[in-house]
Amino acid sequence: MIEARLFAYELLEELRRDLPLLDWASRALPNKPVEACVVAKASGVAAGVDEAEEFLKLLGFVVTWRLAEGSTVGPGARVVCFRGPAPDVLKVERTLLNLLMHASGVATYTRRLVEKARSVNPRVTVAATRKTLPHLRYIEMKAVVVGGGDPHRLSLSDAQMFKDNYLRLISLDEAAAAPKPFIHRREVEVGTVEDAVRAAELGFDVVMLDNMAPEEVRRVAEELERRGLRGRVLLEASGNISEENIHLYAPYVDVVSIGRITHSAQALDMSLEVADAKTRVGLIGYGRLGRALLELARGDGELEFVAVYDVDRERCREAERTHGVRCVGDVDELVRAVEIVVEAASAQAVLEYACRVLEAGRHLVVASTGALSKLPRCGTGYVFAISGAAGGVDVAASTGGRVRHVVRKAAAVGEDSGPAEELYWRYPQSLNTSMTYKLAGAGEVWVELRRDAPPGYIIHEVEVEHQWGRVHIRAENKAEGTTSYAAALSLYNTLKNAARLVKGGRVVVGTFAVL
């Protein structure tokens, strides 16, 4: 958003004021990459996140997580996370927190006022005023909008508004006749019932009732109604209105404007938490594939498995005992703790849990790739499907050729043949690689499932025919049951690359298909 980026340049100036020369404390820190998250310490409404993201990007940080503007947060909720050198992260801490805490405080206070006012008048508008802090009008007005309010005038140029000091110099009649652009409304501030009626008669578009008690505001509304003038003007109440009494004004007016929304809103408490820049990963399914994946990731400098979920609670607890990964009670708890979720369970698990992962803004690495053929589009996270342990996916994807895939598994539950998209749902544990060819863009995929592999092996014979030639691949993979170690390696490699991409990687090698 251009507006957010423009304001981010102003934040650079604020950082310059905070960092005029050198930060002597940061010079003592190791120049290693870390990840930092702004974390809410109170409940409220997040605002200023767009501007925070643009500010961090201008400084070369990689934003790894962010909430949407207007999201409801509670204590412990991450608002924005970013990655960069440890000394630089701490240099921007205060500027970043000042922005998010103030903007979120304004949005939170606005939301409370709007909810209270609309509890008695669902159509009333709660508006700000021009009582904004120097240099912060843009972000404060945007925060009001994020909280559900209205910015009123953004500047003197936005409407023709005659306040009390103007009317000390000209009459109400002269104000009503003053020239203005056709697109602007004409508003006047009054303090009595009589002036309000006269302003309506003169054709003012908006009549502001300033510093009037609720009973007086009610009298104005009733008198205008009695004279048939109420429908010709918008009534605005302003002055000495707060969260404690807004419900007394809201029933009688169209707009309630409150200066303290911007100049006196309490900041929403937040802090910056810094950790090593590892990607937090959760695992669904602790069978042979999940177990092999955790072994491969042991001691990985980029990944940290922090949670595992399995419907078999004993297997889940075994993962905790063996690998030190916390066993969680449900998928939602796992999703809250991680950035990337790995499915190593089944096609049914993909269909049951994938949208919950993606709708929470997390990314998903899928081993049961065939299930993606029935997965609806949902959420904002990315899905990464493994290429499998047979090879040739790139050829099938780039040529759109016909694929013949012979799968030999001694542990297969049966022997069969047919199109991949039909056969997969009969043998979902055995034919994920076959469906990967189809998802990648192969014209057709014919599958033959056989049980004649030697013990301890899974054999793939892949033939890709296309108009420019033919490719033949034979892969003999050591295996345990229906899972080969090569499949675990493919899953691990996909996870590593997914983590690098979402952490800011810019070179992608071997993109087979984007769906």
* Better-scored residue on pLDDT, 50 or 505: 50
Tokens of 387: 């290429």
Query: 71-89 pLDDT, tens per residue?
Result: 999 998 889 999 899 999 9
**Which of the four pLDDT bands, split at 50, 70 and 90, describes residue 113?**
very high
For the cut 90, the answer to whether the pLDDT of residue 236 exceeds it is: yes
For the cut 90, the answer to whether the pLDDT of residue 361 exceeds it is: no
Query: 302-352 pLDDT, tens per residue?
Result: 899 999 999 999 999 999 999 999 999 999 999 988 989 999 999 999 999
Q: Which helix (H) or strand (E) holds 108?
A: helix 93-118
- State residue 449's pLDDT score: 95
Contact 217, 88 (CB under 8 A): no
Q: Structure pTM?
A: 0.67
Q: What is the mean pLDDT of residues 275-300?
A: 92
- State residue 39's pLDDT score: 94
For the cut 90, the answer to whether the pLDDT of residue 412 exceeds it is: no
- State residue 513's pLDDT score: 66
The CA-based angle 147-149-155, given to 5 degrees, is 115
Q: What is the mean pLDDT of residues 94-107?
A: 98
Q: Is 490 helix (H, G, I), strand (E, B) or coil?
A: helix
For the cut 90, the answer to whether the pLDDT of residue 126 exceeds it is: yes
Q: Which helix (H) or strand (E) holds 39?
A: strand 33-40
CA 126 to chain centre: 27
Which residues are CB-neighbours of 359 under 8 A, at least 6 positions away? 378, 379, 380, 381
Cα torsion through 112, 113, 119, 123, rounded to 10:
-130
Query: 44-73 pLDDT, tens per residue?
Result: 999 999 999 999 999 999 888 889 999 999
Q: What is the mean pLDDT of residues 120-148?
A: 95
Q: What is the CA radius of gyration of the chain?
A: 31
Q: What is the mean pLDDT of residues 146-153?
A: 96
Using a pLDDT cut of 70, give the percent of the chain over it: 98
For the cut 80, the answer to whether the pLDDT of residue 504 exceeds it is: no
For the cut 70, the answer to whether the pLDDT of residue 511 exceeds it is: no
- State residue 158's pLDDT score: 92
Query: 245-282 pLDDT, tens per residue?
Result: 999 999 999 999 999 999 999 999 999 999 777 888 99
* Better-scored residue on pLDDT, 232 or 484: 232
Please give the single-letter amino acid code of residue 34: V
- State residue 515's pLDDT score: 64
Q: Are strands 340-343 and 125-127 parallel, antiparallel or unpaired?
A: unpaired
C-alpha to C-alpha distance for 151 and 258, rounded to whole angstroms: 10
- Taking all residues of the chain, what is their mean pLDDT, rounded to a whole number? 93
- State residue 512's pLDDT score: 61
For the cut 70, the answer to whether the pLDDT of residue 468 exceeds it is: yes
Q: Is 191 helix (H, G, I), strand (E, B) or coil?
A: coil
